[in-house]
Structure 1
Amino acid sequence: MSKRFFITLPNPSAARGSDPELAFQAHGAEAFARELREALASPALFERWRDRQDDPDAVDPRLGEVDPDAGVRARQKDLVIDLEVDTTLPGEILRQRLRWLAGSAWQLRDVGET
């Protein structure tokens, strides 16, 4: 079952994870949406993270789950970016990807069924 997550980046310039190899590179609402969608739909971000672990083979492969049909829409109002994410991925996986991409500079506003 797909869920809809409402996420806010209150200060997009601060929405950068601690590891530059994993963090958002985006500037602008649509670029943030594209990068987040790619992080949910493709294993590339997970694989980069896993390869940086002390024992990559010991990483639980379920953490690399993807949703090729994930959708992300973005709106910018003043300096704030709102992201609306539709995905079948569990919330824990979405939060994990957001921590890699944005660090702690994001807020989960709401979750609903689609």
Structure 2
Amino acid sequence: MATRYYISLPEPTRARGSDPALAFNAHGAEEFAAQLQDALRTTALFERWRQRQEDPDGVDPSYGATDPQATVHGQQDNLHVVLVVTSTIPGNVLKHRLRLLAGSSWELRDVTAA
């Protein structure tokens, strides 16, 4: 069952994870949405992160979950960006990917059934 997540990037220019190789490099709502959508649909971000771990083979494989049907819509709202994610990805995996991409510069505003 899909879930809809409403995410805010209050200061988009600060929405960058601590590792530049994994972090957002987007400038604008549509780019943020596209990069997050790719991170949910494919294992590319997960694999880059996993290879940076001390024991890549010891990483919990559930964090590599993907949803090829995931959608992310981005909208500029005044000075912040609103992302609406619809996905079957578990919440803990979504949060992990957002921490990699945006660090702590994001807010989960609401969660509903899709």
Same fold, TM-score > 0.5, yes or no: yes
Alpha-carbon distance between aligned partners in 2 of 1:17 and 1:75, rounded to the nearest angstrom? 21
With structure 2 as the length reference, what TM-score do the two structures score? Answer: 0.99
Q: CA deviation at 1:70?
A: 0.2
Do structure 1's residue 4 and structure 2's residue 26 form an aligned pair? no
Aligned pairs (5 A) from 1:47-66: 47-66=47-66
Q: CA–CA distance in 1 between the matches of 2:95 and 2:4?
A: 13
Deviations 1:47-80 (A, max 9, x none): 0000000110111111100001000001102211
CA distance in 1, matches of 2:21, 2:60: 21
Structure-1-length-normalised TM-score: 0.99
Structure 2 portions without partners, runs of 5+: none
Gapped runs of 5+ residues in structure 1? none
- Residue 84 in structure 1 maps to residue 79 in structure 2: no
How many residues were matched structurally? 114
| Partner residue, 1:40 | 40
Letter of the structure 2 residue corresponding to residue 50 of structure 1:
R
Moved over 4 A (4+): none
Percent sequence identity over aligned pairs:
57
RMSD between aligned residues: 0.5
